[in-house]
């Protein structure tokens, strides 16, 4: 196991726009502020959601759409570089009207009703995603930044 050390730099707190795409809003913010490594947390509510499940055998994401109103019970994610640009990877736990929860890999198409975010920016070496043969995923390159 290998990990790099980071120091905490800025902490941003703010509101997500109603009607905006959750993943794109977070990515746009990270790119605007040039946050190259960091942590993302969100709570709030959604108008609709699209989450993914990665089939390890087929090496493919299956996307699951929910065309209904849901709570964001938690969103936990990170920011690193992909193709040289800040990139957000996030997983989300959703809650429905019966109090059930479920979730997955956050995908585009998830529309915010209301949302509050906390983004922690880290200071340290760049962490870049590269294609990993073993998993078929774009994982962190721990050999070089």
Instruction: Give the residues lining the site for Zn ion (CB under 5 A).
Output: 105
Q: How far is the CB of 87 from Zn ion (least distance, A)?
A: 12
Closer CB to Zn ion, 36 or 105, in the complex: 105
Q: How far is the CB of 52 from Zn ion (least distance, A)?
A: 7
Give the whole-angstrom CA distance, residue 14 versus residue 17.
10
Q: How many residues does the chain have?
A: 145
Closer CB to Zn ion, 10 or 65, in the complex: 65
Closer CB to Zn ion, 75 or 119, in the complex: 75
Give the whole-angstrom CA distance, residue 11 versus residue 33.
11
Closer CB to Zn ion, 105 or 120, in the complex: 105
Nearest residue to Zn ion by CB is: 105
Q: How far is the CB of 62 from Zn ion (least distance, A)?
A: 13
Residue-wise DSSP of 29-42: HHHHTT--SEEEEE
Q: How far is the CB of 98 from Zn ion (least distance, A)?
A: 26
Q: What are phi and psi of 70, to 5 degrees?
A: -140, 155
Q: How far is CA 13 from CA 29, 66, 112, 115, 137, in A?
A: 11, 27, 16, 11, 30
Give the whole-angstrom CA distance, residue 86 versus residue 10.
16
């Amino acid at each position: 196991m290998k990990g790099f050390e980071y120091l905490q730099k800025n902490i941003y707190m703010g509101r997500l726009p109603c009607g905006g795409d959750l993943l794109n809003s977070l990515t746009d913010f990270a790119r605007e502020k040039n946050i190259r490594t960091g942590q993302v947390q969100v709570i709030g509510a959604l108008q609709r959601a699209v989450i993914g499940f990665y089939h390890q055998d087929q090496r493919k994401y299956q996307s699951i759409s929910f065309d209904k109103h849901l709570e964001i019970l938690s969103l936990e994610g990170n920011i690193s570089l992909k193709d040289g640009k800040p990139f957000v990877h996030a997983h989300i736990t959703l809650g429905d009207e019966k109090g059930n929860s479920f979730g997955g890999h956050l995908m585009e198409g998830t529309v915010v009703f209301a949302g509050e975010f906390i983004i922690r920016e880290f200071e340290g070496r760049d962490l870049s995603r590269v294609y990993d043969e073993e998993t078929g995923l774009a994982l962190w390159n721990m050999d070089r930044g």
